[in-house]
Amino acid sequence: MIALLIRDMKLGTRAGGGFGLGLAFFLIVVVLVPFGVGPETGRLSLIAPGILWLGALLACLLSLDRIFALDWEDGSLDLLATSPLPMEAAVSVKALAHWLTTGLPLVLAAPVLGVLLSLPAAGYAPLVLSLLLGTPALSVIGTFGAALTVGLKRGGLLLSLLVLPLYVPTLIFGAEVARRGAEGMDNTTPMLMLAGITCGTIALLPFASAAVLRVNLR
């Protein structure tokens, strides 16, 4: 299991693995926003938490099809399926590797990009905390989507169509935590809901992903 994790991390961080791409995408989205809505500080700081969450979500989405695509092409996915490791565990490890290579860097980059959007000083801690709580859910849900579309030729667009509606609750609660934090309001309730969603998806979705993957490998 740990060997699989290390292997996936290596593949993910290697050139062409898309490690830097997600971060670069996140940066570009954040840079483009002021061009779209204008440079006034007040307006930017108002929408900063939402934009940062949306940017992180899209950057996450961008790298999803890599979770299984390479393993599917060279056949190592079949090897995984026949190995003694249960499929549920393999899927969870894949999601974890995706989070470590995509989600975690995004969390760390978010405060830096927050400066660009003049995020209020009170907003940094809640932003990082909400992303830290929420991005694992994004990775796990994304793994389910990637497992659904693994055998398809042009699965990328379909993958977005399938995964984005599933991201709605996470985005709502995550952005709400960050927004309320930035405005100095109490954000315990959305925080608990966000944590609940993350725990629930981590606990339950790997079973669905594994079932779907087995069907696709049949």
Partner 1 sequence: MASIWQYANPKKFIDTTDRFLPWLSALALICLVVGLVWGFFFTPEDYRQGSTVKIIYLHVPSALMAINAWLMMLVASLIWIVRRHHVSALAARAAAPIGAMMTVIALVTGAIWGQPMWGTWWAWDPRLTSFLILFLFYLGYMALWAAIENDDTAADLTSVLCLVGSVFALLSRYAVNFWNQGLHQGASLSLDKEENVADVFYHPLLVSIAGFVLLFIALVFLRTQTEIRARRMRALLARERLQ
List residues binding partner 1 (CB under 8 A): 144, 148-149, 151-152, 155, 158, 161-162, 164-166, 168-169, 172-173, 176, 189-190, 193, 197, 205, 208, 211-212, 215-216, 218
Name which of 8 and 176 has its Cβ closer to partner 1: 176
- In angstroms, the CA 136 to CA 93 distance is 12
CB of 196 to partner 1, least distance (A): 10
Name which of 52 and 109 has its Cβ closer to partner 1: 52
Name which of 107 and 159 has its Cβ closer to partner 1: 159
CB of 71 to partner 1, least distance (A): 18
Q: Is 52 left (phi over 0), alpha (psi -120 to 50) or beta?
A: alpha
Name which of 101 and 130 has its Cβ closer to partner 1: 130
CB of 205 to partner 1, least distance (A): 7
Instruction: Output the 3-class SS for 14-76.
Output: CCCCCHHHHHHHHHHHHHHHHHHHCCCHHHHHHHHHHHHHHHHHHHHHHCCCHHHHHHHHHCH
Q: Tell me the C-alpha to C-alpha distance, in Å, between residue 27 and each of 12, 58, 109, 158.
A: 19, 11, 9, 25
CB of 176 to partner 1, least distance (A): 6
- In angstroms, the CA 16 to CA 31 distance is 24
Q: Which helix (H) or strand (E) holds 152?
A: none
CB of 95 to partner 1, least distance (A): 15
Name which of 41 and 189 has its Cβ closer to partner 1: 189
